């Protein structure tokens, strides 16, 4: 079984990664938040501008909405080592000319995602947030678009749950798809409560416990 030293080695290499230097319009600043205790992993698309500046994932309105969806408060989200964040790409990809961020560079997931996931042996649930994360993780199992993938959420359990991105840009999508809040969110919140419960069957002493925090 991978140990905390295996995970720290991966994180150290990610911290030093400059594979996109000269391609990004800024100095790469990888952002990821995981620990040996991570059981619930949030896989978004890529950090936005505010996260690039803060070095902490989901420190923006999207993070507020995501925490609301999960039913957790700010402190729990950042302080509980059972919650981790590792986006499809670890660095902010920059803003497109027509508004919105560029897509996450595929090279980041190819370079780091398999190795990082191998170092997280306690994983129980991965939230695939947005179409890019879903396409990479699900491959041919993904549906024709994000809406249909999320609508088919029952097909991917119990270890994967696809979600729309919590960006304000998706507010209209949420209004058009009330089934998401009626069906998916109660399931998501129940899973989060179970994973974070003191009575969870995997709770107990952890010799590999390590500091939980953002990597910048």
pLDDT one-digit tens code per residue, 110-132: 999 999 999 999 999 999 999 99
Q: What is the pairing mode between strands 40-43 and 83-85?
A: parallel
Q: Give the pLDDT of residue 22.
A: 85
DSSP summary character for residue 154? G
Give the total number of structural domains in the chain: 1
- Using the predicted structure, report yes or no on whether residue 204 has a pLDDT greater than 70: no
Closest to 45 measured CA to CA, from 78, 4, 98, 89: 89
Q: What is the pairing mode between strands 214-215 and 32-33?
A: antiparallel
pLDDT one-digit tens code per residue, 146-189: 999 999 999 999 999 999 999 988 999 999 999 999 999 999 99
CA torsion angle 66 71 77 80 (round to 10): -150
- Using the predicted structure, report yes or no on whether residue 105 has a pLDDT greater than 50: yes
Residue 214 pLDDT grade (very low, low, confident, very high; cuts 50, 70, 90): very low
Q: Judge contact between 80 and 196, C-beta under 8 A.
A: yes
Q: Which residue has the higher pLDDT, 74 or 205?
A: 74
- Using the predicted structure, report yes or no on whether residue 3 has a pLDDT greater than 50: yes
DSSP summary character for residue 144? S
Q: Give the pLDDT of residue 2.
A: 64
Share of the chain above pLDDT 90, in %: 69
CA distance 116 to 87: 11
- Using the predicted structure, report yes or no on whether residue 1 has a pLDDT greater than 80: no
Q: What is the mean pLDDT of the chain?
A: 89
CATH code: domain of residue 32:
3.40.470.10
Retrieve residue 20's tokens. 């996109």
Q: Judge contact between 178 and 147, C-beta under 8 A.
A: no
Q: 133 lies in which domain range?
A: 4-215
């Amino acid at each position: 079984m991978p140990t905390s030293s295996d995970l720290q080695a991966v994180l150290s290499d990610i911290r030093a990664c400059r594979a996109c230097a000269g391609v990004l319009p800024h100095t790469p600043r990888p952002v990821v938040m995981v620990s040996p205790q991570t059981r619930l992993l949030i896989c978004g698309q890529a950090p936005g501008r505010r996260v690039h500046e803060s070095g902490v994932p989901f420190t923006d309105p999207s993070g507020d909405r995501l925490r609301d969806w999960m039913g957790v408060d700010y402190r729990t989200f950042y302080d509980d080592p059972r919650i981790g964040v590792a986006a499809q790409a670890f660095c902010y990809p920059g803003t497109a000319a027509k508004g919105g961020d560029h897509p996450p560079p595929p090279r980041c997931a190819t370079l780091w995602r398999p190795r990082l996931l191998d170092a997280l042996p306690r994983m129980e649930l991965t939230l695939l947030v947005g179409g890019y994360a879903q396409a990479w993780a699900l491959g041919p199992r993904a549906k024709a678009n994000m809406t249909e993938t999320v609508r088919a959420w029952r097909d991917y359990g119990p270890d994967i749950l696809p979600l729309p991105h919590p960006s304000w840009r998706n507010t209209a999508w949420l209004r058009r798809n009330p089934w998401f809040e009626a069906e998916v969110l109660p399931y998501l919140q129940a899973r989060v409560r179970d994973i974070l419960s003191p009575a969870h069957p995997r709770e107990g002493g952890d010799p590999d416990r390590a500091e939980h925090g953002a990597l910048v």
